[in-house]
Chain A
């Protein structure tokens, strides 16, 4: 491992070789676009949570806010789109711009192109959410927005990617962080374009359209949001802890295994459906294989941070490691649900939604929060105002997302086993599933409390209200009491 350590240490020294003034020049250059992406992402986070909360209440009281534009069938895809493309993806774009500039040691001129891209991206998401609420939606799980919305988002993405491509500069050995982040950005562009265009052109027909849609939506989760989260963790953990990466070569092997297997898991949500069996088997096998790079990456990062004194006090580390843990659990459950024997009974229950919530709301979102806690002080020139607000945000979002996902998963398991038993009537199946939904509703109270605290803190930071720069705002540990 010595050779490995010295190698990674060398690459870190090289990265650190970009002078401090260079770093602050990069931060100043990208500040407008990164802060506006984060700001809009936080707005989407609150809006999507509000829509999800409305949907959760509707599950218990179907008559609640029974307007045509707030029908359950419209609110759910609108909330999901606002969360996936509004919050997660917009925040990922902000992180990607910052990480790529920092790792390249430069920010290309013409950052306004990226800002224009961010504007278009947000416009596309807004058009998508409004269209879905007005009933212009596609029956394609995970990509319900109409084609026009995706087209605008794609054009925005193109502008951002163009700027990133000019900025991009890799050292001899590309860092793992860069590999994951750039891989994610490239995949999002490819799959959003290919998937939506082929569907719109009716290039495939019948059930293959759903297979294509599943591939596109699965790419957004597994090959865009999760890789950017992992890449961000690879950037932050060695930086914050000051330790060299535990293993670069193993990390690289996991990267390739991740990108190969994650591209083949899209059939798993179709198990038991009208698709040939080999498809379900491929996804089941790749779902299990996917566990290796996800758990391996989490371990690689944990081993890097082991023994570091800032692990308990750094806000970004607390969020990042919580997120990595939840991502690992989510991937494990995803792998299990892909197995044919489980898939049959769990498919179409709330289990799939629970796993998705675990991966996005508990996993990727927490890593993204961690990234914002690290990045914002560098862009604003001051530190976060209050460690209590950070703690409050952590508790609200950690307990909220865990409770929400857990109730969906347990409800799905209960409904799934009842659904597979012909002796229990469908109303009994529903009764069983519904007995857990209170947890989902309750979880939104916790999430809102946490998210509002974060939104307030973020706004203060965006207008440069905080502690004086220099000493990072740290969380208090048990020992200090």
Chain B
């Protein structure tokens, strides 16, 4: 074989090694994963995870707006402080993303982790913080998207006014109309309501909850999270 023949064979070998270890091996190990479930008397229950197609549109808005640039969807294990921060009750594992096409794990944490933001126990402030929002329901999320500092003083998140529209109130005000502080209120007779994209995004955020117990994910932290 000529020298360049040896070279190209070697190169192909490096490529095969890289593909084998870094792609094929993970695929063989994680590919056969299936949902966990409980079986009692022939009855199957507690299946997790379940493919949730009802929030696909919202997920597309999430990705399209680039939310993943600042928000991760990965709760790290006990070595990190994610669980104590209130971002989840256990670390996330491969099975959590089973039915997600291109899981949005995120690129950085310029904002909090959103793995479980739809769970009622999710928080991003210390347990005792008096400024902690009482609840982060759909109305809160909408207001936060429209004008972040209206609900979190120190927020550095950009506002997303393009996910909302101002419209004339005709008859009864819309139940989705934002309950804005006085300085942000539109002129009388008008209301701010989310666009279909805005509604879908908030529905997606509300669906995010990966706290179902999984044996490979270790123990579930009790809420409130145990302090050292």
Smallest CB-CB separation from A75: which chain B residue?
A: B66
Interface of A is mostly: helix
Interface residues on B, range: 35 or more
Q: Which of A66, A170, A202 contacts B158 (CB 8 A)?
A: A66
Contact check, B109 vs A190: say whether CB atoms are below 8 A apart: no
Contact check, A139 vs B63: say whether CB atoms are below 8 A apart: yes
Smallest CB-CB separation from A202: which chain B residue?
A: B101
Q: How far is the CA of A172 from the CA of B22 in the complex (A)?
A: 33
Q: How far is the CA of A194 from the CA of B67 in the complex (A)?
A: 27
Smallest CB-CB separation from B105: which chain A residue?
A: A210
Contact check, A186 vs B11: say whether CB atoms are below 8 A apart: yes
**B161 at interface by CB-CB < 8 Å:** yes
Residues of B within 8 A of A211 (CB): 22-23, 26-27, 30
**A279 at interface by CB-CB < 8 Å:** yes
**B21 at interface by CB-CB < 8 Å:** yes
**B94 at interface by CB-CB < 8 Å:** yes
Q: How far is the CA of A137 from the CA of B106 in the complex (A)?
A: 13
Residues of A within 8 A of B19 (CB): 194, 215
CB interface residues, B 77-101, toward A, < 8 Å: 77, 79-81, 84-85, 91-94, 96-101
Q: How far is the CA of A318 from the CA of B109 in the complex (A)?
A: 37
**B114 at interface by CB-CB < 8 Å:** no
Residues of A within 8 A of B63 (CB): 137-139
Chain A: residues with Cβ within 8 Å of the partner, total of 81
**A207 at interface by CB-CB < 8 Å:** yes
Residues of B within 8 A of A172 (CB): 3
**A420 at interface by CB-CB < 8 Å:** yes
Q: Which of B15, B80, B227 contacts A419 (CB 8 A)?
A: B80
Q: Mark B101-121, 1 if CB is under 8 A from A, else 0.
A: 111111111101000000000
**A73 at interface by CB-CB < 8 Å:** yes
Q: Which of B69, B105, B156 contacts A430 (CB 8 A)?
A: B156
Q: How far is the CA of A213 from the CA of B105 in the complex (A)?
A: 12
Smallest CB-CB separation from B93: which chain A residue?
A: A274
Contact check, A66 vs B101: say whether CB atoms are below 8 A apart: no
Residues of B within 8 A of A350 (CB): 108
Given A199-B102, A209-B102, A264-B18; A425-B80 close (CB under 8 Å) = no
Q: Mark A103-127, 1 if CB is under 8 A from B, else 0.
A: 0000000000000000000000000
Contact check, A73 vs B22: say whether CB atoms are below 8 A apart: no
How many A-B contacts are there with CB distance less than 8 Å? Answer: 212
CB interface residues, B 1-52, toward A, < 8 Å: 3-4, 7-8, 10-11, 14-15, 17-19, 21-23, 26-27, 29-31, 33
Contact check, A282 vs B105: say whether CB atoms are below 8 A apart: no
**Segment at the interface with A among B124-132, B135-143, B171-179:** B124-132
Shortest C-beta distance, B133 to chain A (Å), equals: 13
Given A204-B27, A208-B30; A275-B10 close (CB under 8 Å) = no
Smallest CB-CB separation from A65: which chain B residue?
A: B158
Q: How far is the CA of A344 from the CA of B91 in the complex (A)?
A: 13
**Segment at the interface with B among A31-39, A56-64, A329-337:** A56-64
Smallest CB-CB separation from A186: which chain B residue?
A: B11
**A348 at interface by CB-CB < 8 Å:** yes
**B162 at interface by CB-CB < 8 Å:** yes
Contact check, A263 vs B15: say whether CB atoms are below 8 A apart: yes
**B219 at interface by CB-CB < 8 Å:** no
CB interface residues, A 193-215, toward B, < 8 Å: 194, 198-199, 202, 204-213, 215
Residues of B within 8 A of A77 (CB): 66, 69
Closest 6 CB pairs of A and B: A73-B66, A263-B18, A422-B84, A135-B64, A73-B69, A422-B81
Q: List 24 A-B contacts (CB under 8 A).
A: A73-B70, A76-B69, A135-B66, A137-B66, A139-B103, A139-B106, A140-B102, A170-B7, A174-B4, A202-B101, A206-B33, A206-B98, A212-B27, A215-B22, A215-B23, A263-B18, A263-B22, A276-B30, A344-B76, A422-B81, A422-B228, A427-B125, A430-B154, A430-B156
